[in-house]
């Protein structure tokens, strides 16, 4: 079976690195000084939309400048400030040993998603890392999941960090259990797990 995992908030906690990179970017373009508690809600959605909201404008040039600054900060140091959730490596190892094919699907640009999974030694567990393009293409998880379904050719379950990802999984034809807390699934996978939260009729 193919199992798709979101990256931020599912495999890793990216908050420290993303928040510090966002704060640097906002400072560089003269944006507002926002506290970490105010920025948490912007972790997950595509950043070009988030910067438009943070800057309170639709100035495409300013938004791109902020995004470019963020990417410089994040690529240099921010990505390495993430932390892998406890039990995730053991869970991924168990799933691959059981014969499941694992994928990462994320709205984060592929180049950065690969950097994260390689830095933390997770790349060996995944058949492919599917992310967006730097120009914003493929930022829809529905499209990413549909691509994985078409490529994998098998039954598929989704493990994500929020209700949006699960709704998009359903939209792409994936069997998910919306009544189980997905974060709990991932945290408890290492202790013989609530795998029923991912495609309960198939595992």
The catalytic residues are 6
- The gap from C-alpha 150 to its chain's centroid, in whole angstroms, comes to 20
Phi and psi for 172 in degrees, rounded to 5? -90, 5
Rounded to whole angstroms, the Cα distance separating 11 from 116 reads: 10
Please give the Cα distance from 159 to 179 (Å, whole number): 13
Report CA-CA distances (Å) from 168 to 105, 140, 163.
Answer: 12, 8, 9
Give the three-state DSSP class for 4. Answer: strand
User: Rounded to whole angstroms, how far apart are CA atoms 3 and 126?
Assistant: 10
Distance separating alpha carbons of residues 40 and 140, to the nearest angstrom: 20
Query: Any idea what DSSP says for residue 44?
Result: S
Distance in angstroms (rounded) separating the CA atoms of residues 51 and 101: 35
Residue 176 DSSP symbol: B
């Amino acid at each position: 079976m193919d199992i798709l995992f979101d990256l931020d908030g599912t495999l890793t906690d990216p908050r420290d690195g993303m928040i510090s990179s966002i704060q640097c970017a906002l400072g560089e373009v003269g944006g507002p000084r926002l506290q970490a508690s105010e920025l948490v809600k912007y972790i997950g959605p595509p950043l070009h939309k988030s910067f438009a909201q943070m800057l309170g404008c639709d100035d495409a040039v300013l938004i791109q400048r902020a995004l470019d600054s963020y990417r410089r900060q994040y690529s240099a140091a921010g990505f390495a400030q993430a932390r892998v959730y406890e039990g995730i490596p053991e869970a991924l190892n168990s799933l691959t040993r059981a014969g499941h094919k694992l994928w990462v699907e994320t709205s984060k640009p592929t180049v950065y998603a690969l950097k994260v999974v390689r830095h933390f030694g997770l790349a060996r567990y995944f058949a492919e890392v599917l992310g967006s393009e730097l120009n914003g293409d493929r930022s829809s998880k529905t499209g990413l999941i549909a691509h994985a379904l078409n490529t994998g050719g098998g039954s598929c379950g989704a493990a994500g960090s929020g209700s949006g990802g699960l709704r998009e999984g359903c939209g792409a034809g994936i069997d998910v259990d919306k009544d189980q807390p997905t974060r709990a699934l991932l945290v408890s996978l290492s202790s013989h797990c609530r795998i029923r939260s991912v495609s309960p009729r198939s595992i």
